[in-house]
Amino acid sequence: MSSSLSARYRTAFVTGASTGLGLAFTEMLLAAGVEVWGTARDAARLKIAHAGFHPVGLELGDGPAAERAFLAADQAAGGFDIVVNNAGFGAFGAFAHTDFSVWEEQLRVMLVNTARLSHAALRGMLARKNGALVNISSIAGEFGMPYQAVYNTTKAGLSALNESLMYEVKGTGVIVIDFRPGDFRTDFEGSVRRPAQAGADALQNGRMARVWQGFTAMMRTGPAPAEAAADLHAALCRGRSGTVRTGRFFQAVLGPFLARFGSLALKRRIQEKYFGL
C-alpha cells in the first residue's frame, strides 16, 4: 500500500478485527502505516503480530460498556482518525418462526450500538476537525436476502444513518463512508446463527433449505477479503464522503444498476429465481 493513507490518518479503530473483513481492513491499515486498535469480544482472539496493533476486548452487545471501551482506547490513541464499525453477526431463519429475542439482539448489536459508537466517534472527530467514520453496511440493505430479514434491516438502517451524517459533516474536515460489501470468502456463513424454527411447516423448511444452499454458495465463491480492503483503502485516500459498493460485478455494479433503472418487480423476480422461491 502507498504511504498516502498514513500521511492523512495516524490512528484507527476497527471493530470485529479478529476474522473476515475486519481482519482484512486491519491488515490493510497496518500495511499503510496506520496504528490500529482492533476489537473482539475476547481480546485473546486478536493474534495480529504487528508493533502498530493494539488488541481491545469489546462486547458490542453491551452498549454502555462498548462505549467506555471505545473512549478508553480513543484516549490512549490520542484520538482516532479512522473508525471502522464492522462487528456484527448473522441470523438465519423465518421472521415469524424465530423467537423475537434473536431479532431484538441483532437490532441492538448491529444498529443501536453501532450508532452509539458512531456517535462517540463523531464527537471526537468533529472537535478535532479531522477523521473518517466508516460504517460497514451491506449490499443486503439494497437487496434483502430471504430469511435474514433483520440483518437486512440493520444494514439498511446503517446506510440511512450514513446518508444523513454525510450532510451533517460536510465542510467540517470529517468524512463518512457508507461501505457496502457483497459476499466475500470470509466463512461468515459458518458463524451465522440458525435458531429453532417453532411451527415452521414443510413448505417453509424446504424454502429455507434452498435459500441456505444459495446463500452459502455465494459466500464460498466470493472474492477474497483483501479486495474489499483495497476498495476501502482507495475510498479513504480519496478523502470524501460517499457510498462504496464492493464485491463481485453483479452485486457491486450490475445489481444496483438494475435496481436503479429497472423495477422492483424485476429485482424480486431475479432474487426469487436465484434462491429457488
Q: What is the pLDDT along the chain (277 residues), one digit of tens a residue?
A: 446 899 999 999 999 999 999 999 999 999 999 999 999 999 999 989 899 999 999 999 999 999 999 999 999 999 999 999 999 999 999 999 999 999 999 999 999 999 999 999 999 999 999 999 999 999 988 888 899 999 999 999 999 999 999 999 999 999 999 999 998 988 787 789 999 999 999 999 999 999 999 889 888 888 999 999 999 999 999 999 999 999 887 777 777 777 677 787 877 887 787 777 8
Which of 84, 211, 199, 209 is closest to 152 using CA atoms? Answer: 211
Q: How far apart are CA 98 and CA 103, in angstroms?
A: 8
Q: How far apart are CA 232 and CA 105, in angstroms?
A: 28
Domain ranges of the chain: 4-275
Q: Which of 9, 151, 167, 274 is catalytic?
A: 151
- pTM for this predicted structure: 0.92
DSSP reduced 3-state for 89: coil
Q: Give 62's Cβ-side CA count (13 Å radius).
A: 10
Tell the CATH topology of 4-275.
Rossmann fold (3.40.50)
Q: How far apart are CA 241 and CA 38, in angstroms?
A: 23
Q: How far apart are CA 183 and CA 245, in angstroms?
A: 11
Q: Is 151 a catalytic residue?
A: yes
Q: Which residues pair with 177 in a beta bridge?
A: 134, 242
Cβ(109)–Cβ(91) below 8 Å: no
Question: What type of residue is 176?
Answer: V
Residues belonging to the chain: 277
Which of 188, 109, 177 is closest to 145 using CA atoms? Answer: 188
Q: Which residues pair with 243 in a beta bridge?
A: 178
